[in-house]
Structure 1
Amino acid sequence: MQYQVSHTDLTLVLALVRGRSLAKAAELLKVDVSTVFRSIRRLEASLGKALFDKSRKGYAPTGTAQALAEQAERAEQALDAAQVAVEHGDQVVSGTVRLTCTEAVLHSLLLPALAHFMPTYPALSLELATSNSFANLSRRDADVALRLTNSPPEHLVGRCLGTASYLVYGHADYRQRLAEAPASLPWIALDDSMSDHASVVWREQHLPGVVPRYRCSSMAAVAQLVGAGLGVAALADYMADSLPGVERLSDALPGCDTELWLLTRPDCRALRSVQTLFDELTPRLRAAMGE
């Protein structure tokens, strides 16, 4: 019969993954070193595979040990949430919500919003993943998506939180050159992996002769290069206004306005954890978008 992994086994593996030594694991588990050693040997024998590679640097977890440790952390979070539920009754919001957004949205919009309300929900956990597509949500690898799009997928439901405008941004010493000879500037742009992005379409239509000096795989990287003074770029207003030393060098670019949507799958919208995120994020993100 195949060995059934127990909660004790998961706790043991997690302690050794975190401690990387028998002594540290024993300290975390509040047992002696010999107990940890025997328990790991017994578990490896029962599973029929090694869980750790021992070296001078300590105990390095194998892929199996890492997978077990991840499940152990989930179990830890579930127990913590259960304890909060016992202490606070039916009003507690608990569970894990997987949220996907772009790196630029994460840093400029989502993180400041989360910092305001997440501490008041100790039993609510978030798994954040950055991606430029809706694929994660469609494959059920995520529960909620925060996306800039004017055409949200029909199979998702949600709220429009505002509209982002795009302008040319850069340091002040680029202003005159932009007015007189825009093609002479060092432009920073997205690479071919995001060829349909509004800023790329605008540049190809209005500045067809411009060859970007720098190409990046994300808008967050484009903004960082602009902030460093390396050139100019078309950036969303919500992310550029906070860049030190960076100024608006143009009016809003025509045809680039893009809506910000908070989306989920229909089967998730009734979940209390998802409803809470929608209710907490909506007013904060609308304020950040100037709505």
Structure 2
Amino acid sequence: MLIAATHYQIDYADLSLILALVRGGSLARAAALLRVDVSTVFRAVRRLEAALGQTLFEKSRAGYLPTSLASNLAQQAERAEQALEAARVGVEQGGEVISGTVRLTCTDSVLQGLLLPALAQFMPQFPALTLELSTSNDFANLSRRDADIALRLTRTPPEHLVGRCLGSVAYQVCASAAYARQHQGRALADLAWIAPDDFLPDHPTVVWRREHLPGVRPSYRCNSMLSVTELVRAGLGVAALPDFLLDDALHPLGPALAGHDTALWLLTRPDCRALRSVVTLFDELGRHVQVKPSHTA
């Protein structure tokens, strides 16, 4: 319970009202969410603001905009909503329920190629568990406590994090089938190259290209390997791609880049090991994320 300076005690109905208006952005949509009429929502908001002695929403052309107070209350309402759902699931299943919110970060290529297939296998077993996903190449997400779990491609994970190596990832130079046919017999250095941009200066594929094709200047630069892959798939050129993104539409132009593979690490902060929701997700990811066995694990 939150108690304002007026000693008015906020209850679950008040939180539900605020959350509906934040989510809906208008009286009409909030009324639809709450299954009441518009006038009921309008009067309830006015009464609640009067009781609190503070403004919760500002009326504008865009609709009802929440104040910082309303935004904070809406966040607490979401947590209460999750707790209630966990209780309902517990009653239905007749046992202990894993609930809460876990924040996970990974690159967009790992999300698309490895994480989503894994989540589809086990997340339905945890209906009360909420997962917040963010895509980033930065280890600082965990260090700044912006995330609880990370999936990272690296050979040297930070020592202050704990985790396990899930396997190795190799890279191959690939093209679309049409591009490969059109440019058959040409040297790699003479093809149009697609590569990560300066945000990934130490990426294994960038290091390999500098060593073996120092004269090549990429025709396209992208800020993610997933974007690089999509440009190759569209027939715009060639690129060295991670093996977990390869499919029948991508034609390898040679063997894996020897000495330039990397590893997939599942990482978390030491303090997160006390949280059942984080430990549960961590263990499930360790079981279900499918990569090749690592030679260095």
CA drift of 1:273 comes to 2.0
- The TM-score, its normalising length taken from structure 2, stands at 0.86
Instruction: Name the counterpart of 1:290.
Output: 292
2:218 pairs with 1:212: yes
2:128 pairs with 1:128: no
Matches of 2:58 and 2:251, distance apart in 1: 53
Q: Which moved more, 1:91-100 or 1:211-220?
A: 91-100
If each structure's helix is expressed as a fraction of its own residues, which one has the higher value?
1
Instruction: Name the counterpart of 1:229.
Output: 235
Matches of 1:53 and 1:19, distance apart in 2: 13
CA pair 217-21 structure 1, distance change in 2 beyond 3 A: same
Q: Find 1:238's aligned residue among 232, 240, 244.
A: 244
Letter in 2 for 1:275: V
SS at match of 1:200: helix
- The TM-score, its normalising length taken from structure 1, stands at 0.88
Aligned 8 A contact 2:19 2:74 in 1: yes
Letter in 2 for 1:78: A
Query: Counterparts in 2 of 1:152-191, with a 5 A limit?
Result: 152-175=157-180, 177=183, 180-191=186-197
Q: Find 2:270's aligned residue among 254, 266, 270.
A: 266
Instruction: Name the counterpart of 1:254.
Output: 258
CA pair 208-109 structure 1, distance change in 2 beyond 3 A: same
Matches of 1:88 and 1:248, distance apart in 2: 49
Letter in 1 for 2:261: D
Instruction: Name the counterpart of 2:40.
Output: 35
For these two proteins, the number of residue pairs brought into alignment is 285
Instruction: Name the counterpart of 2:54.
Output: 48
* Alpha-carbon displacement from aligned partner over 1:238-265 (angstroms, at most 9, x marks no partner): 11x23x5211111111232101011111
Unpaired stretches in structure 2, ≥5 consecutive residues: none
SS at match of 1:192: coil
* Alpha-carbon displacement from aligned partner over 1:172-193 (angstroms, at most 9, x marks no partner): 3444747632222111111111
Instruction: Name the counterpart of 2:30.
Output: 25
Matches of 1:136 and 1:24, distance apart in 2: 35
Aligned 8 A contact 1:183 1:207 in 2: yes
- The sequence identity of aligned pairs, in percent, is 60
Unpaired stretches in structure 1, ≥5 consecutive residues: none
CA drift of 1:34 comes to 2.5
SS at match of 1:194: coil
SS at match of 1:79: helix
CA pair 250-101 structure 1, distance change in 2 beyond 3 A: same
Q: Find 1:72's aligned residue among 69, 77, 83.
A: 77
CA pair 182-27 structure 1, distance change in 2 beyond 3 A: closer
Matches of 2:194 and 2:75, distance apart in 1: 39
SS at match of 2:192: coil
Matches of 2:103 and 2:46, distance apart in 1: 35
Letter in 2 for 1:204: R
SS at match of 1:169: strand
Aligned 8 A contact 2:178 2:235 in 1: no
CA drift of 1:119 comes to 0.5
Aligned 8 A contact 1:155 1:265 in 2: yes
CA pair 273-180 structure 1, distance change in 2 beyond 3 A: same
CA pair 43-204 structure 1, distance change in 2 beyond 3 A: farther
* Alpha-carbon displacement from aligned partner over 1:126-167 (angstroms, at most 9, x marks no partner): 111111011111111111111111001111111111000011
Matches of 1:5 and 1:163, distance apart in 2: 55
Matches of 2:9 and 2:136, distance apart in 1: 34
CA pair 250-30 structure 1, distance change in 2 beyond 3 A: same
Aligned 8 A contact 2:149 2:282 in 1: no
Q: Which moved more, 1:170-179 or 1:144-153?
A: 170-179
Q: Find 1:108's aligned residue among 113, 116, 139.
A: 113
Matches of 2:49 and 2:214, distance apart in 1: 62
Aligned 8 A contact 1:198 1:255 in 2: no
Letter in 2 for 1:154: E
